[in-house]
Structure 1
Amino acid sequence: MASPQCCANPPTLNPAGGEGKVVDSFGGIKAYVSGAAESKAAVVLVSDVFGFEAPNLRKMADKVASSGYFVVVPDFLHGDPFVRENTERPIEVWIKDHGAVVVELAKAHEIHAAVMCHPSLVTVDDMKEVKCPIAILGAEIDHMSPPEVVKQFEQVLSSKSEIGHFVKIFPGVEHGWTVRYKDDDAAAVKSAEEALADMIDWFNKNLK
Structure 2
Amino acid sequence: MRRATHLQLPSGGPRSNRSLRPLFDLSQRPSNHLQAGSRQLQPQSRSLHHHQLTSEVAAAAAAQIRAMSAMPASHGHSAACCNIPPIVSKGYKPKGSYEEIGGYKTYVTGPADATKAIVVVYDIFGYFDQTVQGADILAFSDDHQKYKVFMPDWFKGKPCPIEYYPPDTPEKQKALGEFFATFPPPKIAGYVPEYVDAVKAHSPSVSKLAMLGYCWGGKVVALTVKAPTNPFAAAAAAHPAMVDPADAEGLTVPFALLASKDEDVTAVKQFEEALKVPHHVETFADQIHGWMAARSDLTNDRVKEEYERGYKTLLEFFGKQL
With normalisation by structure 2, the TM-score equals 0.58
In structure 2, what is the equivalent of residue 151 of structure 1? 269
For residues 32 and 154 of structure 2, what CA distance do their matches in structure 1 show?
16
Partner residue, 1:195 = 310
User: 1:2/1:84 Cα in 2 relative to 1: closer, same or farther (>3 Å)?
Assistant: farther
The reply on whether 1:73 has 2:151 as its aligned counterpart is yes
For 1:12, the equivalent position in structure 2 comes to 31
Q: Deviations over 1:11-63 (max 9, x none)?
A: 2222295110011x212211000012311300011100101x21110000011
Q: Secondary structure at the match of 2:162?
A: coil
Which shows bigger deviation, 175-184 or 3-12?
3-12
- Partner Cα distance (1:177, 1:37) in 2: 29
Equivalent residue number for residue 164 of structure 1: 278
Distance 2:181 2:250 in 1: 23
Q: Say which of 238, 242, 250 aligns to 1:129.
A: 250
Q: 1 or 2, which has the higher strand percentage?
A: 1
Once the two structures are superposed, the pairs formed by residues 67-106 of structure 1 within 5 Å of their partners are 67=142, 68-86=146-164, 87=171, 89-98=174-183, 99=185, 100-106=219-225
Amino acid at match of 1:110: P
Distance 1:69 1:181, change over 3 A: same
- Once residues 107 and 5 of structure 1 are traced to their aligned partners in structure 2, the CA distance between those partners, rounded to angstroms, is 22
Give the CA RMSD over aligned residues: 1.9
Aligned partner of 1:56 in structure 2 is 130
1:27 to 102, 111, 132: 102
Question: Cα–Cα, structure 1 residues 10 and 77, in superposed 2: closer, same or farther, change >3 Å?
Answer: farther
- Alpha-carbon deviation of 1:3? 5.5
Structure 1 residue matching 2:117: 3-state secondary structure: strand
SS of equivalent to 1:15: coil
Q: Secondary structure at 2:287's aligned position in 1?
A: strand
List alignment gaps of at least 5 residues for structure 1.
none
Superposed CA offset, 1:135-180 (max 9, x none): 000112x1xx3222111111101xx2xx111100111112111112
Cα distance change on mapping 1:4 and 1:155 into 2, 3 Å: closer
How many angstroms apart in 1 are the aligned matches of 2:256 and 2:320?
A: 11
2:319 aligned residue: 204
The aligned residue for residue 117 of structure 2 is 42
Given that 1:2 and 1:92 are in contact with CA atoms closer than 8 Å, whether structure 2 keeps it comes out as: no
1:106 deviation in Å?
1.4
Counterpart of 1:138 in structure 2 is 259
CA contact 2:25–2:288 (8 Å) conserved in 1:
no
What is the TM-score of this pair, normalised by structure 1? 0.87
Separation in structure 1 between the aligned mates of residue 25 and residue 109 of structure 2, nearest angstrom: 26
Q: Select the structure of larger CA radius of gyration.
A: 2
Alignment partners' CA distance in 2, 1:117 and 1:14: 20
Instruction: Give the distance between the partners of 2:32 and 2:98, measured in 1 at CA.
Output: 14
Greater RCO (Cα-Cα under 8 Å, separation 6 or more): 2
Stretches of structure 2 that go unaligned for 5 or more consecutive residues are 1-18, 36-92, 165-170, 186-218
Please give the alpha-carbon distance, in whole angstroms, between the structure 2 residues aligned to 1:191 and 1:77.
28
Shift, 1:182, TM fit: 1.5
- Cα distance in 1 between the residues matched to 2:270 and 2:310: 20
Specify the alignment match of 2:75 in structure 1. Answer: none
Contact 1:6 1:49 in 2 (8 A): no
Percent of aligned pairs sharing the same letter: 29
